[in-house]
Structure 1
């Protein structure tokens, strides 16, 4: 299993980097839209949709994405990003969901069986994440990679800290392997990563100056992204447990489905895009 995971990762990582740095903003949008469409199919199964409804859900996700990508006019073709009304509405609602509704959903263990409700939630979250990663890419491919790396740093640190020090379960009924000690380890690692990244952020123009306020804000944003990524991971685990499946799909050998790989991005990237566009641009 570990060998399979490593082989899949060894194939995927170069492909992601080539798409991120080798394609323009619109090309990146097409590639990531394809990923989101696959994720939509997996979400439909987790939501318990019937085959016809699942196909309709996937098709609607694709059509809306294509409309957004190719009908946004000169704003997007000039690689300035989405019009504010698209970015603020879609990413704003998704961020509010992850900050307020998802934690309550997890805390109270809500079991929502309504396929239409889950379909709307899934469409919103998937579309918002796609809008977010395309938006940040229009600013700088390196910035998007740096923001996504926060999630990978948090995940890796949580794993090793949890294995070494884990005693207190974070959400035993949802994901028994996660511990509070893992969360603390993730927060420490992310704070260190954010501080180490700050000089690069300044030299690249991602932030305007390095002072106390900027430093605190930069670290705070990184920690918030890490926290949201954990919420996203738990949320997808809850959906899989509710449906009685181990993985969201089988498209990635050793890893499961697309949603198993982007669950943390679903929660973290919409808010990160809003911060990038309105606070640090």
Structure 2
């Protein structure tokens, strides 16, 4: 299983990195939309939509995203402004609602609410992927690398040292030792970035810690819905990893909020 997991990750990187740096922005947007629609189909399964409801969900998501791409080609700045608004709503959801939701073990089986949650979370991720690629592909690569490093470190540290459960009722396999291992690995990654003469190095370590913690929230939130749906993986598309949602669960909160925080930081810097 570990070998399969590693091979799949390497194959994903071999496809993702050239696409990130060499694809046209519009083509990138459509490619990311295809992957997002696959994630939407997995989310539809988690929240219990039937076949016709899933088709309607995917079709309406496609229409909304197509309109957004058209807007982006006409005026990227307007698209980015709308994206920031969506990121702000998503940030409130992750920072305010999700911790309470996880702590209380709440269950939401209302399909309309869950459809809206899917639009907010996966829609904000798709817009973040589009914006980050246009603004700074390296930023996108660093954030996604941080999530993958944290995820891998948490897996190995949890296997080797894990004793204290992080959230046993949601995801029994996750431990506090795994979280500490993830933060340690992310700290080393931050040190490498700082040593590479990164711009404004003092914000890198706390920034990547925030990304790693958000990744944990995303992982737990998806695990909660999988547990409610009584399934182990969101899909079987990625050997060794499960489905698309299983691979991107940590990126879903981290990327939109990271872009929002960076925008606010640079805006404040410009105002001072």
After TM superposition, the score normalised by the length of structure 1 is 0.89
CA contact (8 A) 2:190 2:205 kept: yes
CA contact (8 A) 2:226 2:233 kept: yes
Pick from 265, 270, 276 the counterpart of residue 256 of structure 2. 270
Give, in angstroms, the shift of residue 218 of structure 1. Answer: 2.3
Give, in angstroms, the shift of residue 134 of structure 1. Answer: 1.3
Pick from 114, 128, 131 the counterpart of residue 127 of structure 2. 131
Q: CA RMSD in A?
A: 1.8
CA contact (8 A) 1:174 1:238 kept: yes
CA contact (8 A) 1:81 1:135 kept: no
Cross-structure match for 1:98: 94
Tell me the alpha carbon deviations over residues 43-102 of structure 1, each in whole angstroms, 9 at most, x when there is no partner: 0110111221111111111111111112234433xxx68331x12211111111111111
Cross-structure match for 1:162: 158
Tell me the alpha carbon deviations over residues 94-123 of structure 1, each in whole angstroms, 9 at most, x when there is no partner: 111111111111111111111111110011
Pick from 197, 217, 224 the counterpart of residue 210 of structure 2. 224
CA contact (8 A) 1:87 1:274 kept: no
Residues 1:83 and 1:152: Cα distance change in structure 2 (over 3 Å): closer
Give, in angstroms, the shift of residue 13 of structure 1. Answer: 1.9
Cα separation, 1, equivalents of 2:137 and 2:170? 34
Give, in angstroms, the shift of residue 249 of structure 1. Answer: 1.2
Cα separation, 2, equivalents of 1:56 and 1:5? 33
After TM superposition, the score normalised by the length of structure 2 is 0.92
Structure 1 regions of 5+ residues with no counterpart?
none
Cross-structure match for 2:63: 63
Aligned residues: 267
Give, in angstroms, the shift of residue 201 of structure 1. Answer: 6.3
- Residue 153 in 1 paired to residue 149 in 2? yes
CA contact (8 A) 1:136 1:276 kept: no
CA contact (8 A) 1:42 1:259 kept: yes
Give, in angstroms, the shift of residue 8 of structure 1. Answer: 2.8
Cα separation, 1, equivalents of 2:185 and 2:53? 43
Structure 2 regions of 5+ residues with no counterpart?
268-272
Pick from 108, 118, 121 the counterpart of residue 117 of structure 2. 121
